[in-house]
Amino acid sequence: MISGDRQPNGYRVYTEKDLQRILLIQKLQSGGLTLKECKACLEEKVNKALLMERVTVLDKEIEQKQQSKKLLVALIGEGDTKAWHEDLNKRAPDAHLEWLLTQGFSDKEALQLKWLSKNMNEHDLYMNDFMKIFETLERWGPGSEEDTKKALLAVPKLPESILEIGCGKGLSAEVLAKCSNAEITALDNEQSALDRLEQRFAQQCLVDQLSTVCAGMTELPFPKNSFDLLWAEGSAYIIGVENALAQWRSVLRKHGYLMLSDMVWRTSTPSCESIEFWEQEYPDIQLVQTRINQMKKAGYQVIDHFPQSESAWLNYYTPLGKRLSELERDLADSSAFKDVQNEVNICTQFGHEFGYHMFILEKLNS
Ligand SMILES: C[S@@+](CC[C@H](N)C(=O)[O-])C[C@H]1O[C@@H](n2cnc3c(N)ncnc32)[C@H](O)[C@@H]1O
């Protein structure tokens, strides 16, 4: 772009004019132009279209850099990481969980963070508000006595030992105890739920049948082949259905049974609202047939399966909606409150497009 005069001895000589031309090129370069673009600007009138293209590219780069800065500031502890966690949970769920554990969160906290708070900086505050909403509710997920009985009836042999995983306050455990006479081991990582469950069993004179275990579902603290039946209503999603099928298998005796319920699509053409909601809340939501294929592949025979009833849905969302109205004034600014309110709204409006499905499986020889 500049050409000095070559001397007989081969040296090149540059003039003051050349130097100024270099300074001019540098000024143009500082606008983000390439050398080729600078040359074009030097040789003819400024090409506005070309500069506009450059401005658009710069705008994109600025936006990207602002996103990067926002993320780093959030990871340092001063911002919102919700969208980032949601995206990671959707694209790389196992790596996401492992990373949260590396950051010093316990297994319980990491799973809550993954599914509920999605916020590393205000996790405790979120969980406090979340528990405040649910503390007075008996059901912590959709369910009904009739559905639990129907699923138990589908189990070909009455079990003598049942492990309920993610038992909550024990409404299903009570039905299982009454309808089977089996020894029930109720596992949950929330001690307050187990306390309520013990109270319920005491009131019904069922305590002889009960042991409670406050532990995580990721690594079940039982020897191999301990149970005739595993029961998981609305809880397998927490570690992922495919992980649950693989990891829970060992505590189930040969030809034992597993009942799990999972949120599934009830239509192959869900609305945009439902898709957007579940992409954030449970990106692994599937059609029934996909789950059945996964269950077979994991070494189970699918004995029966059916959709949870409408009443199971209402048993959960009606009291939850009332509870939100009670707390509206206290928790209006709470993220947990807003998230639960959004769930109630979507599930009330679009609940015909998705719902829990109950699967009764037999463990095949491996
Ligand atoms: C959606 S609720 C379902 C509760 C109950 N099965 C029902 O239908 O009402 C999920 C339950 O799993 C428990 N839970 C969540 N994460 C858990 C974990 N990592 N290990 C064991 N239990 C967990 C919760 O405390 C809660 O009781």
CB of 212 sitting under 6 A from ligand 1 = no
CATH assignment at residue 329:
3.40.50.150
Residue 333 domain flag: yes
CA distance 94 to 192: 28
Q: Into how many domains does the chain fold?
A: 2
pLDDT given at position 76: 78
Confidence of residue 366 (pLDDT cuts 50, 70, 90): low
Residue 293 domain flag: yes
Percent of the chain at pLDDT > 70 equals 100
Q: Is the pLDDT of residue 77 over 80?
A: no
34 and 181 share one domain: no
CB of 130 sitting under 6 A from ligand 1 = no
CB of 114 sitting under 6 A from ligand 1 = no
Beta bridge partners of 257: 229, 362
Question: To the nearest whole number, what is the mean pLDDT of the chain?
Answer: 94
CA distance 131 to 107: 18
Residue 137 domain flag: no
Q: Is the pLDDT of residue 333 over 90?
A: yes
Residue 100 domain flag: no
36 and 151 share one domain: no
- What atom of ligand 1 comes closest to residue 239's alpha carbon? 19
Residue 105 domain flag: no
Say how many Å lie between the CA of residue 167 and the centre of ligand 1.
6
Q: Is the pLDDT of residue 189 over 80?
A: yes
288 and 174 share one domain: yes
Do 358 and 147 contact (CB within 8 A), yes or no? yes
Say how many Å lie between the CA of residue 115 and the centre of ligand 1.
12
pLDDT in tens, 132-186: 999 999 999 999 999 999 999 999 999 999 999 999 999 999 999 999 989 999 9
Do 281 and 255 contact (CB within 8 A), yes or no? no
**Residue 339 CB contacts under 8 Å (≥ 6 apart), including other chains:** 116
**Residue 186 CB contacts under 8 Å (≥ 6 apart), including other chains:** 164, 167, 170, 173, 194, 197, 210, 211, 212, 213
Ligand 1 mutation pick, 140, 165, 172, 358, max ligand atoms within 8 A of CB: 140
40 and 162 share one domain: no
177 and 41 share one domain: no
pLDDT in tens, 220-261: 999 999 999 999 999 999 999 999 999 999 999 999 999 999
- What atom of ligand 1 comes closest to residue 193's alpha carbon? 27
CA distance 48 to 50: 5
Domain of 34 in residue numbering reads as: 5-46
37 and 150 share one domain: no
Ligand 1 mutation pick, 218, 235, 239, 308, max ligand atoms within 8 A of CB: 235
22 and 164 share one domain: no
Do 152 and 178 contact (CB within 8 A), yes or no? no
Residue 131 domain flag: no
pTM equals 0.84
Residue 172 domain flag: yes
CA distance 49 to 189: 62
18 and 154 share one domain: no
Provide φ and ψ at 299, rounded to 5°. Answer: 95, 30
Residue 85 domain flag: no
Whose alpha carbon is nearest atom 20 of ligand 1? 216
